[in-house]
Amino acid sequence: MQNENSFYKMLLDNLHDGVYFVDEDRKISYWNKGAERITGFMSAEVLGKQCSEDILRHVDRQGKVLCMGACPLACTIADGTERNAEIFLHHKKGHRVPIFMRAAPIRDNGGAIVGGVEIFTDMTPAAAALERVAEFERLAYIDSLTEVANRRYTEITLNTRFEEMQRYGWPFGVVFVDIDRFKDINDRYGHDRGDEVLKMVSRTLQNSVRSFDLVGRWGGEEFIAVIANVDREQLLATVNRFRLLVEQSSISSVPGLRVTISLGATLARPGDDMTTIIKRADGLMYESKTAGRNSATVD
């Protein structure tokens, strides 16, 4: 039996997907290598803990926390029905990672439910992202700290989108993002922790856009997202997703630190150029700051 268990563990550990088992109380009893790779949490850090204990902390695309009341795995353990969903998990480094998860009950020999298993797949547009990063690095267009596009590449992308809009009529939007009270974070926790906040925010933004959209660092604690082929309703959904996912993210090295962002977003208009659209999005972002921060204004 021991050899058989070792064989199955070897199979599970060699899966690309993350796999973990929980008991009826949702305490983790198994955590495979795929789960370590996708989440950043090692098996020794999570075994015996409940999955909601500052580990995965699943949220949906609207930023709703699922661990308390709407957890697919908990619902599956309760009623025995298999479930799947596209959601975001919390990475150990603080950012959010999009996953496709499947939950199934675990039953004993008598058919009684004694726990559950979750299998999850990393939905980060990895291939497109790697290709884009390789191009950025080759052309020196990547921000060395956050590993998103730098200002120069963001400007090139904006000019390209304007050319496409003029030639083909393809719409696009611009989102201006500013981290709230970032100077206070640096002053209180130090610049190293401030750099971690920048990385967490940039990764969360990058992981929540499509492969053909762009997130770039504009300067300091400011980011710009260029969202292609979008209407006002879709742009509004995008900025709300940005805000909620950052709000639900955290940094393990600074327990209790709450990071929020203020956003301004606008669609490109006839007669716009890079200067006018950035100025308008920036002004809308400041309206969000005036409204109390951690909010989004869309024109």
Q: What is the rounded distance in angstroms from the CA atom of residue 75 to the CA atom of residue 46?
A: 21
Q: What is the rounded distance in angstroms from the CA atom of residue 13 to the CA atom of residue 32?
A: 5
Q: CB burial class (10 A; 0-12, 13-18, 19+) of residue 274?
A: middle
Does residue 267 contact residue 298 with C-beta atoms inside 8 Å?
no
- Specify the residue for token string 């480094």: 93
Catalytic residues: 221
Q: Please name the residue ranges forming H helices in the chain.
A: 2-13, 33-39, 43-46, 72-79, 126-139, 151-168, 182-189, 191-207, 232-247, 274-290
Q: What is the rounded distance in angstroms from the CA atom of residue 44 to the CA atom of residue 218?
A: 39
As given in the structure block, the two tokens for residue 17 are 């997907």
> What Å distances lie between residue 72 and 40, 41, 84, 111, 207, CA to CA?
22, 21, 7, 20, 22
- CB-side exposure of 213: number of CA atoms within 13 Å? 23
As given in the structure block, the two tokens for residue 87 are 């959601």
The residues facing 98 across adjacent strands are 88
DSSP classification of residue 142: B
